[in-house]
Structure 1
Amino acid sequence: MDLIGVAFLLILILFVLLGSGIWVALSLLGAALVAMEFFAGTETGTVMATKFWDSTTGWTLTALPLFIWMGEILFRTRLSEDMFEGLAPWMARLPGRLLHVNIIGCGIFAAVSGSSAATAATIGKMSLPELNRRGYDQGMAIGTLAGSGTLGLMIPPSIIMIVYGVAADVSIGKLFIAGVLPGIMLVLLFMGYVMIWAKLHPARVPPADFDYSFAQRLWASRRLIPVVLLIAAVIGSIYGGVATPTEAAALGVVGALVLSALTGTLTRKSFGESLMGATITSCMIAFILAGAAVLTIAMGFTGIPRALAGAIGELGLSPWMLLLALTLVYIVLGCFLDGISMVVLTTSVVLPMVQAANIDLLWFGIYIVLVVEMAQITPPVGFNLFVLQGLTGKNIFRIAADTMPFFLLLVVAVVILWFFPEVATWLPDQMIQR
C-alpha cells in the first residue's frame, strides 16, 4: 500500500474510533498505535511514552490552565450583569439598540475568558431573558449571541491560540497580539449587520424605554472599569513586553480573584468549583494535545505528511486554492469535532502543505481560528449551538438558522483576511520593531 493509501486508512480508523464514542485523545492514540506498529517500523512503546511525556511538560503550555482558571473564576462573578448595566445606555441610540449589548458584551468577556462556550453561556444567561422581556426579536437575539460567542476564540487570551501555538511552534504572545485587530473587525462586522437589519425591520426592534443623558451614561460606565482594567493588565503586559503569556495569565488569575472578592462571590465553594472546573478542562485539553503529539510523530515516521505535501505540490494548487480546500475541510470537520480537536488533529498534516505554499504560520493561525469559529456554529455539533439550546430549549436547527447570517459574516472575515493580511500581521510587526 502506498503512503496516500495508508493516510486514508488511518483517517478511516480515526473516524471509526471517533464515531464509536471513544474519547478524542484515545482515538488519536489508537490511530498512532496502528501507524507505528504496521507502517512505521519503529519502537512503538518507547516513542509513544517519550512523546507523550514531552508534549505535557512544555513550559509554554502552563499558560493554558491559568487562563482557563481565570475564565472559571469570572464566570462565577457578577461581571456579566455589570457589563449589561454599563453598556446598555450607550447602545440605546444605535439601530438595533440592546442587541449590540450581546456583541460588545461577548467581545469584552472574550478578552477575559478565552473560551467560546463560556462567553456564550455567561452573556446569554444575562442578556436573553432581558432582551425577551423588552420585546426584542428572539431569533436575532439568539443569532447575535451565537455569532458573538465565537469571539472567545479570537480575542486574546484565547485557549485555541495557545493550542495552535504549541502545536505549530509559533509564539503565543504574537498570536495573542495578532488576534486583536481581527477580533475588532468581527465586532464591527456583526454590529454593522445588526444596524442594517434593524433599518430594514424597524417593527422588530422595540423603542427605547429610557433616554439617557450623557452624564447618566458616564455614571453607568463605572461598572465597566474593573473588567477594562483586567483586560489592560493581561493584554497590555504582553504587548508591552513586560510579561510572557504565562506570567500574564498568572496576573489575570490574581486579578480575577480580586474582582471576585470585591463583588462578594469569592467563597470557599466558588473557589473550589472554579479550580475543579479549570482542572477538568485543562486535563481534557492536555490529554488531547498529548494524543495529537503522538499521532504527529507517528505520521512523521510513516512519511505521510511529506507524501501529502508532495502530492499537493504536484497538483499545482495556488495558495488561495489550498486555503479554499482547507476551509471546506474544516467546516466539514466542524460538524463532528470541537475546535481544539480540529486543530490538534490536522496540524501534522496541514502544516507541511502550508509551509510548502510559503504561507506565514502566524497569519495561518488567525485564519484557522476564524474557520474554527465557523465550526462553533455549524450543526449538528457546533458547541455554541448546544450552549444556546440549553439556555433557550429551542431546536438546534432553528438556532442554526438564526445564526446563519453570522456564519456568512465569518466567511466575509476570512476573505478580508486573505486580501488584507495586514489585519493579522500589522500589530505583531509593530511589536517586533519595538
Structure 2
Amino acid sequence: MDPLLLGAIVAIATILVLFSGVSVAIGLLIVSAGFLIIFDGPRSLELMPEILFGKLDNFALLSIPMFIIMGASIASTRAGADLYEALERWLTRVPGGLVVSNLGACALFAAMSGSSPATCAAIGKMGIPEMRKRGYPDGVAAGSIAAGGTLGILIPPSVTMIVYGIATETSIGRLFLAGVIPGLMLVGLFMAWSLYSTWKSGDGGQLSAGSYSWAERFEILPRVLPFLAIILGVLYAMYGGIATPSETAAVGALLCLLIAMIIYKLWQPQALWVVLRDSTKESVMILFIIAAAGVFSYMLSSLFITQSIAEWIGTLDVNRWILMGAVNIFLLIAGFFLPPVAVILMAAPILLPIITTAGFDPIWFAVVLTINMEIGLISPPVGLNLYVINGIAPDISLKTILTGSLPFVGCMVLAIILLCLFPELATWLPDVIMGAAV
C-alpha cells in the first residue's frame, strides 16, 4: 500500500480511537499494535515492550516529575493568593490596575507552577470576585484569568517545552529561553486588550481601590519572593552551566517543598501526601503518553509513513509560509480536542521533518506550536480552562466566559503573526545566552 494513503488511514483510525473515550496513551498503543500486526505480523509486537520502556530510559525525563512537584507544592499553598494580593497592593493606583494585577499574577504563578488549570484556580478564586465587585465586566474578569492561565505552558520552566525537547531531541535550555520574550509579549497583549476593553465599557470610574501604605506593600513580599527566587535560581543554574535541567528541577522541587512547609506550615502528613500523590498521578500520565508515543513513532517509521510524508512535502512547489499556515491550522484543530502533551508527542515525528525541510527553526516552531496549544486551552469543545473558570464562578455562564476569552485568542493569533514576521522574538535570547545554534 502507498505509504501516504496508509498514513491517512492511520490518522483516521487514531482520531476514531481517541474519540472513543480511551486514554491517549492506551489509544496510541492500540493503533500502533493494530497496524504493526496487520503489516508486519504478530511477531512485531515482541518489540513493543522494549520500545515502550526504552523511550523512558532518558535522564532528561526526570525533570518532568520534579517540575510537577515544584508546581504542586506551590499550588497547595496560599502562594497564588499572596501573589495576587502583593500585585494588587503595588498596582492599586494604576488605572485598571486590578486586571493588570490579575494578569501579572497569572504570569508569575504560571512560571512557578507550570500548570494552566492550577493558575486559573489559584488566581481566579480571588481575582474574579474582586474584579466583579469593582465593576469590571464579567467577560473581562473571566476571560482574562482563563487566558492568563494558559501562560503556564509557555513561560519557563514549562513541562510542555520539556516534552517537545525530548520528542524532537532539541535543547531544553534553548526552548525555555525561547519562551521568555514571547511569553512577556503575550502578557503585554493581554493587558493592553483588558485595559482597552475596560475603558471602552465605561466602567473605569468604578474601579478604584483602597490605598495601601508602604508598610502594607512590603509586608507581603517575604511570602512571595522566596518562590520567585527559586525559579530564578533554577534558570540561572541551568543556563550558567552549573547543573542539568533534571538536577536543577530536583533541587527546585526540594526547595519548594521546604518553603511550603516553613512559610505556609504545610506540615500535616495528609497535605504532603496530597502533593506527592497528585504529582505522581500527573507524572505517570505524561510519562505513559511519552512511552506510548514512542511506540506510535516507531510504527509510523516502520511503515515508512513519516519518511514518505517528509519526502512528499519536499517535492511540493508550495510557498513555505502557506505550508506553515496549514501546519498552524492542523495544530489549532488538534489543540481543540487533545491536551498539549499528546499533540506534541503525536505530531512531532511528522511535523519536525516538514518544518526543517521548509527551512524553519525548530526552536522557533516550538513557541508557535505552544501558543497554538494555549488557544486550545480556552477554546471549545474541550477548553479545560473555560470549565475551571466556570467551576470557580458558576454564576458566569460558559457562553460569557467563552465570549470574554475570544479577544485573548485574537491576541494569541496576533502573537503568532508577530513571531512569523520577527522570528528573532523567539531565537534572539537563546542565541545571546547559549550561542548561535549550529
Q: TM-score, length-normalised on structure 2?
A: 0.94
- Which residue number corresponds to residue 26 of structure 1? 26
Query: Is residue 404 of structure 1 aligned with residue 403 of structure 2?
Result: no
Provide the rounded CA distance (Å) in 2 between the counterparts of 1:207 and 1:389. 23
The Cα offsets for residues 126-176 of structure 1, whole Å up to 9 and x where unpaired, read as: 322332333332210111001110100001111111111110011111111
The Cα offsets for residues 411-432 of structure 1, whole Å up to 9 and x where unpaired, read as: 0111111111111111111222
Evaluate the alpha carbon distance shift between residue 347 and residue 40 of structure 1 in structure 2; reply closer, same or farther with a 3 A threshold.
farther
The Cα offsets for residues 348-385 of structure 1, whole Å up to 9 and x where unpaired, read as: 11111112112111111111111111111110101211
- Which residue number corresponds to residue 10 of structure 1? 10
- Which residue number corresponds to residue 422 of structure 1? 424
Q: Is the 8 A contact 2:135 2:203 kept in 1?
A: no
* Counterpart residue type for residue 360 of structure 1: D
Please say which of residues 419-428 and 212-221 is displaced more in the overlay: 212-221
- Which residue number corresponds to residue 52 of structure 2? 52
* Counterpart residue type for residue 309 of structure 1: A
Alignment of 1:223-302 (within 5 A): 223-261=223-261, 262-302=263-303
Structure 2 gaps of 5+ residues are none
Q: How many residues align?
A: 434
The Cα offsets for residues 372-406 of structure 1, whole Å up to 9 and x where unpaired, read as: 11111110101211211222224434322110000
Evaluate the alpha carbon distance shift between residue 413 and residue 35 of structure 1 in structure 2; reply closer, same or farther with a 3 A threshold.
same
- Which residue number corresponds to residue 377 of structure 1? 378
Residue 216 of structure 1: how far off its partner (Å): 5.0
Evaluate the alpha carbon distance shift between residue 316 and residue 205 of structure 1 in structure 2; reply closer, same or farther with a 3 A threshold.
farther
Please say which of residues 139-148 and 227-236 is displaced more in the overlay: 227-236
Q: TM-score, length-normalised on structure 1?
A: 0.95
Q: Is the 8 A contact 2:140 2:198 kept in 1?
A: no
Q: Is the 8 A contact 1:134 1:206 kept in 2?
A: yes
Provide the rounded CA distance (Å) in 2 between the counterparts of 1:312 and 1:40. 26
SS at structure 2 position matched to 1:174:
helix
* Counterpart residue type for residue 378 of structure 2: I
Provide the rounded CA distance (Å) in 2 between the counterparts of 1:227 and 1:133. 29
- Which residue number corresponds to residue 393 of structure 2? 392
Alignment of 1:51-200 (within 5 A): 51-200=51-200
Residue 112 of structure 1: how far off its partner (Å): 1.2
Q: Is the 8 A contact 1:71 1:113 kept in 2?
A: yes
SS at structure 2 position matched to 1:150:
helix
SS at structure 1 position matched to 2:372:
helix
* Counterpart residue type for residue 429 of structure 1: D
SS at structure 2 position matched to 1:334:
helix
Evaluate the alpha carbon distance shift between residue 21 and residue 419 of structure 1 in structure 2; reply closer, same or farther with a 3 A threshold.
same
Alignment of 1:198-209 (within 5 A): 198-203=198-203, 206-209=206-209
Q: Is the 8 A contact 2:371 2:412 kept in 1?
A: yes
Report sequence identity in percent: 35
Provide the rounded CA distance (Å) in 1 between the counterparts of 2:308 and 2:114. 36
Residue 255 of structure 1: how far off its partner (Å): 1.8
- Which residue number corresponds to residue 358 of structure 1? 359
Q: Is the 8 A contact 1:335 1:381 kept in 2?
A: yes
Provide the rounded CA distance (Å) in 2 between the counterparts of 1:8 and 1:266. 54
Structure 1 gaps of 5+ residues are none
Residue 233 of structure 1: how far off its partner (Å): 1.4
Please say which of residues 357-366 and 141-150 is displaced more in the overlay: 357-366
